[in-house]
A and B are shown apart, each in its own frame.
Chain A
């Protein structure tokens, strides 16, 4: 294998919203490379639809404290409140900054940025739904990604497009760089860099029905987990209430923000029973549970009673065209239904990882539950867990998270690089990786151990046993299945032995990350004997603040997972019962 060496001060892995925002901050101050397995504009940030919250108060009175209250309550009190304060306070300048860089937000008549309602966002700590989400029709994420990339192009940021990072080099607890695989050639690249940020996005592909892209396989968290870094709050995975039936393609909460209503097979607006005050705009964990409950009680629609309807028919053609053009097009394209006239079949879809690589508010990666900083390694965006989303993220808070903490990751890289000297990586730094690849290439192909078979079983069983409602029994069962899949993975084989665009090889490596993400999700879920936010234990239905106001840290322990815990950082808001 050909090995090529590069020397940089800093490397950012990932070019979605978080990676690009970090790059804009860091690039002027160091020799920086952004490495991404997809062309930057193909990152999944571009799929985000509904909006990005900030208390701009363009439509009605608002302030960032109310935003913070909603975020903490939405998180089921698991978010760290000092971090939430930063998120909500810095939101305002972050949105304005994006506008200054050219982001084409939708506008109000007076020329200001338009804002809409979104689930769980309220005025005056719960009084009524708030107009807080800044948006550009239903393609807000696309506009954020394009704007940040455009800014990077204008600054001349160095990109390595379609390079996949597969290893990090940490010697004696200090970061020295990463190793990447060039997809077009199969060449291995050693990137010397003393500051490395992981902004690799989520890992929805552990489930069968997901709003996530094929590329979202948990690479950053997986790479670090395999090096002994823990993953935080992995039991909290968000299921978005409205994925297109069977396909999982997302229909943004903006649809309900604009007035859309969920109905069961009888046409009943069932959310009135579950969240009497804000109904369809309750937070996602509650709405997804309500849908799952309706379905399990036989109120689902269709021959198998396994979906509910999202009804937009009363909104009128003009609102739909102006405000929800893309998602209604998805419905026309993939289900051949006209949403102006007919309700849309939907079901919850695996959507967002609240958990991930533990960081402090400056995006510095923590190597244990006591807050020890791993020098030179940073993470931001969906791959990270700060934690600002706690047990359940509010809609629009992730696009915010990626810019607020993406920027902070960039700043931390600058601080670190300016106070340290370059560190050399040896010529054989890529050896572990080249051995791993050669090993995969040398094995004869055996269909039983093919990547798609193992992956399909993983996704089917995670969907069955570790989705919205969990029990000790279902999680124990999944633990056994994962052990078996892991054993089979040890013998995984591929048929493509070529160097050029060998994506089968990369899918094999990504599958290991998916197994890591599943192991940690299931182990953390099994241990947490309470229900909080997105984690619902049928056998422990109550939230238990006395014992579980804690973040979980899952460590790799040979073949199993070891758990440690860290207290939640409270602030202005005492944990209360969560009612809407």
Chain B
């Protein structure tokens, strides 16, 4: 079948601002949106820029806005979206070229929340023990692939880009609720800050945007509640 695809193009070397380009592509309904982008790039306009690697929703490279919603281009099939298919870069981060945005501030926010296990106690020669129940408490947030779909769907982030954003809070949650970690207090102090978890207005955009099915808003609520336990 023929599919009409509109892509928001922007080349910093030639364009003052972005503009829509239309492509008519021969496509199979079972193909991924990413396959459509490849068709444009490989057989029509080689200069189209987008990130991708794994092509099956596990690396987090290709979050973009498709028909107004954040998703991974490799995780959605042509038959699941209405046509014409409108594809734009994720919002709230500076566009580098076409569908590629600058991720620096996103990763900086991630790094702010101490996204690593802190435990200075001598662990011994074998693994630390952890019960399946304790392991389950942070299972959901271990799944994050740092794709930025959540953060860039958040209306608070769009207006205040100093907000650490959902993804950073998800990654703090991952450690705050890990029974092996000892730095919850420091992390929660960071998230109590003006640009921390309390900026969240529970719009739930992040939860619907997350391609890994993480309950992002719930994780933020868990973290907020936990900050109330420290003083």
* Chain A residues with a Cβ under 8 A of chain B: 38-39, 41-44, 46-47, 56, 95-96, 99-102, 104-113, 136, 139, 142-143, 146, 150-151, 153-154, 184, 213-215, 247, 249, 326, 330, 333-334, 445, 450-452, 494-496, 498-504
Contacts and interface: CB of A to CB of B under 8 A. Distances in A.
B4 interface: no
13 contacts: A38-B59, A47-B54, A96-B127, A99-B127, A100-B127, A112-B127, A139-B143, A146-B142, A213-B59, A333-B75, A501-B96, A501-B100, A504-B47
B13 A500 contact: yes
B46 A495 contact: yes
A151 B115 CA distance: 9
B53 A496 contact: no
Interface in B87-106: 96-98, 100, 102-103
A153 B59 contact: no
A38 B53 contact: yes
Interface in B42-61: 42-43, 45-47, 49, 52-61
B43 A452 contact: yes
Interface string B120-135: 0001011111111001
B103 A107 contact: no
B94 to A, nearest CB: 11
A102 B56 contact: no
B221 interface: no
Nearest to B49: A501
B20 interface: no
Contact of B116 (A56, A104, A153, A501): A153
A495 B45 contact: yes
Contacts of A502: 47, 49
Interface of B: 11-14, 30, 32, 41-43, 45-47, 49, 52-61, 75, 77, 96-98, 100, 102-103, 107, 111, 114-118, 123, 125-132, 135, 138-139, 142-143, 145-146, 175, 178, 180-181
A348 to B, nearest CB: 17
A107 to B, nearest CB: 5
B144 to A, nearest CB: 8
Contacts of A334: 30, 32, 56, 77
A428 to B, nearest CB: 26
A112 B126 CA distance: 9
B26 to A, nearest CB: 15
Given A107-B131, A107-B132, A102 B46 contact: no
A107 B58 contact: no
A56 B110 CA distance: 34
A496 B56 CA distance: 27
A102 B180 CA distance: 8
A26 to B, nearest CB: 18
Contacts of A495: 45-47
Contacts of A44: 53-54, 59
Contacts of A95: 127
B46 A504 contact: yes
Contact of A107 (B42, B107, B130): B130
Contacts of B98: 501
A146 B143 CA distance: 10
A291 to B, nearest CB: 21
A31 to B, nearest CB: 21
B146 A41 contact: yes
Nearest to A496: B47
Contacts of A215: 53
B178 A104 contact: yes
Contact of A42 (B32, B59, B114): B59
> Which 7 pairs show the lowest CB-CB distances between chains A and B?
A102-B117, A111-B129, A452-B42, A496-B47, A150-B116, A504-B46, A154-B116
A47 B59 contact: yes
A79 to B, nearest CB: 28
B142 to A, nearest CB: 5
Contacts of A330: 56-57
Which of the listed residues B49, B96, B116, B175 has the most CB atoms from chain A within 10 Å of its own CB? Answer: B116
A20 to B, nearest CB: 13
A3 B222 CA distance: 48
A39 B54 CA distance: 13
Contact of A142 (B58, B127, B180): B58
Nearest to B75: A333
A150 B117 contact: yes
B43 A46 contact: no
A214 B74 CA distance: 12
A501 B52 CA distance: 13
A42 to B, nearest CB: 4
A111 B133 CA distance: 9
Contact of B125 (A38, A96, A142, A214): A96
Contacts of B60: 41-42
Contacts of B53: 38, 42, 44, 213-215
A99 B128 contact: yes
Which of the listed residues B131, B132, B138, B175 has the most CB atoms from chain A within 10 Å of its own CB? Answer: B132
B129 A214 contact: no
Contacts of A42: 53-54, 59-61
Given A46-B145, A102-B178, A495-B45, A96 B135 contact: no
Contact of A109 (B43, B77, B132): B132
Contacts of A494: 46
A47 B55 CA distance: 10
A41 B145 contact: yes
Contact of B96 (A43, A154, A500): A500
A31 B116 CA distance: 22
B174 to A, nearest CB: 8
Contacts of B128: 99-100
Contacts of A247: 56
Nearest to A215: B53
B129 A104 contact: no
Nearest to A499: B13
A534 B154 CA distance: 49
Contacts of A153: 111, 115-116
Contacts of B130: 107, 111
